[in-house]
Amino acid sequence: MTSTDLRGKNFITLLDFDREDLDAILAAAHDLKQKYLHREPHKLLDAQTLFMLFYNTSLRTRNSFEAGMTQLGGHAHFLQPGAVYTPALKGEERAYSTERISDVARVLAEMGDAIAIRIYGKPTGWSYGKGNRIVKEFAAWSRIPVINMECDMFHPCQAVADIMTMQEKLGNDLKGKKFVMSWAYSASVEKPLAVPQSAILSAAMMGMEVVLAHPQGLDLDPMIIAETKERAVRHNGSFEICHDMDKAFKDAAVVYPKAWTVQPIDGTPVDFDKANAVFQANKDWICTAEKMALTDDAIYMHCLPADRGMEVTDEVIDGPSSVVIDQAANRLHGQKGIMALIMAR
């Protein structure tokens, strides 16, 4: 499927991959999707095992990985919250209900072929970066690949599905197309930064004209902003930040309105009262048919679940511009592309 050799590589953040790597993953994903649709056997991971550690609940992520491993000829073990000890980072004071990551990672590495982890938000006390440190510590101790199924900083699997969907709808070459990652209102402030941060990084890697739109006070991680700017320059795209939703939507080819919280990046937990005040002051940040009319016949994207009537109206999310079901379906194919390349023997 590709000449790029990603065997044994961890998949934690797109910052660890270049454009050639991303293109290889996308090519594999598109190829495996066609094989799936034509019911062609593609058991590339015959008898292999993926261990999935979920410290957060999941619908799309769990089922797309489980189905994907089955279709690739392997098996996915679902380890639900509470079924394993809470992971303890090196140097942390251990409680009775914790087990060192070094022990868990090395044991699982003796029994299977990859470890996938989802951990952010409440299990980490909403301390930004802790979930990512846990995933990276698993990778440091594991001799088999580690896949990030979403931490508090990154959701690279979602980003692959997003790019794959845009390629299907807008053409394989996304260079120069305007991509708007916009904040949108929600009654729930428990929203991590992982999706918007991975979305702008991946769009910049594709050479798109990336616009990050949000009200004042809802900034993303400055490191991610700097990395996005660098990738936009490298791939002949552009990047800007806008604090006006209508202005951002004008002439867009893709809009991706989604809530994220007011997240301190110094490790202190989210102040949910402060976050709620910012959210309540910006209830007009909602994706409506009127806002979609400002675009250049844009497609509407969302990772789901969407907060209907807050982030978006039913008219939009259920309308002809919406590709949210395609995105969800492509989680399966995108992740199969990732696993087929990094778990290959």
* 254-278 pLDDT per residue, tens: 999 999 999 999 999 999 999 999 9
Taking phi first (over 0 means left), then psi (-120 to 50 degrees means alpha), and beta for anything else, what does residue 306 get? beta
| Residue 245 in domain | yes
The boundaries of the domain holding residue 287 are: 158-327
Confidence grade of residue 1 (pLDDT, cut at 50, 70, 90): very low
In whole angstroms, what is the distance from residue 219 CA to residue 230 CA?
A: 18
CA–CA separation, 330 and 156 (whole Å): 13
Q: Is 4 among the domain residues?
A: no
The pLDDT tens digits of the residues spanning 143-174 come to 999 999 999 999 999 999 999 999 999 999 99
Q: Specify the CATH number for the domain of residue 121.
A: 3.40.50.1370
6 found inside a domain: no
Residues 177 and 322 in one domain: yes
The owner of tokens 């699997």 is 157
Look at the chain and report how many structural domains it folds into: 2
169 and 130 within one domain: no
The answer, yes or no, to whether residue 2 has pLDDT greater than 60, is no
* Both tokens assigned to 324: 């949210």
H or E element in which residue 106 lies = helix 101-109
At 58 the pLDDT is 87
Q: What angle do CA 104, 108, 112 make, to 5 degrees?
A: 165
My answer on whether 213 and 295 are in the same domain is: yes
In a domain, 1, yes or no: no
Domain match, 127 and 24 both: yes
Is there a single domain that holds both residue 288 and residue 316? yes
Residues 116 and 261 in one domain: no
- DSSP E strand boundaries for the chain: 49-54, 75-79, 86-88, 98-100, 114-118, 146-150, 178-182, 209-213, 238-242, 254-257, 299-300
Q: Do residues 176 and 290 both lie within one domain?
A: yes
Q: How far apart are CA 332 and CA 76, in angstroms?
A: 13
Pair (135, 31) in one structural domain: yes
CA distance 311 to 288: 9
Residue at 122 is within a domain? yes
Within-domain flag for 258: yes
CA distance linking residue 100 with residue 115, whole number of Å: 16
Identify whether residues 91 and 166 lie together within a single domain.
no
What size, in residues, is the chain? Answer: 345
246: Cβ contacts below 8 Å, ≥ 6 apart: 291, 294
**For 22-71, how does the pLDDT look when each residue is reduced to its tens digit (9 = 90+)?**
999 999 999 999 999 999 999 999 999 999 999 988 889 999 999 999 99
Verify that 138 and 109 share a domain, yes or no: yes
Q: What is the pLDDT at residue 330? A: 98
pLDDT at position 100 over 90: no
Verify that 162 and 149 share a domain, yes or no: no
Give a yes or no: residue 277 inside a domain: yes
Q: Are 59 and 128 members of one domain?
A: yes
Residue 8 maps to a domain: no
